Amino acid sequence: MKVDELGVTLTHEHLHMQFDCVLQGPPKGIPSYPPAKEEFQLKNLGILRQYPYSSVYNIKLDDVDSKNIMLDELLRYKAAGGNTIVENTVHGISRNNELLRTLSEQSGINIIAGTGINFISYILNKEHFGLETK
Ligand SMILES: [Zn+2]
């Protein structure tokens, strides 16, 4: 792809991922943290934004809801003048190149797949990658 074909470009997006490696328990003293999809409500929005990594549903972008929303978001981005997205879901957080191709074909958005290994996932799962830190 030539640079002049990129158009309006978002440089760090995630259209699909499993980010379980950053899951943290909810802070102590918060009695009604929304852990599940059914409990996502406007009244919980503030606390969810403050502690986004304490909700399993919030850190996984790999379910049917996420896939449907991503295509809708891409179509809205295209309608607003967007043309390209750099998708940074790399090895370790469930990269899905086939889904990226499908979303690109259905939306007309160029999707550039990032490469590499997610650092947090690597630190927590070194044996999975067969690597060691010296
Ligand atoms: Zn990211």
pLDDT digits (tens, 9 = 90+) for 2-26: 999 999 999 999 998 888 888 887 7
CB 131 within 8 A of CB 34: no
Query: 22-72, pLDDT tens digit by residue?
Result: 888 777 887 667 767 777 888 888 888 888 888 888 888 888 888 889 999
Give span(s): CATH 3.40.50, the chain. 1-16+62-134
The fold of 1-16+62-134 is Rossmann fold (3.40.50)
Q: Which residue's structure tokens are 């390209």?
A: 84
Output the CA 13–ligand 1 centroid distance in Å: 6
Cβ atoms of 4 and 83 closer than 8 Å: no
* Ligand 1 centroid – CA 23 distance (Å): 15
* 114 CA from centroid of ligand 1 (Å): 10
Pairwise pLDDT comparison (104 vs 134), residue with the higher score? 104
Reported pTM: 0.79
89 alpha carbon – ligand 1 mean position (Å): 7
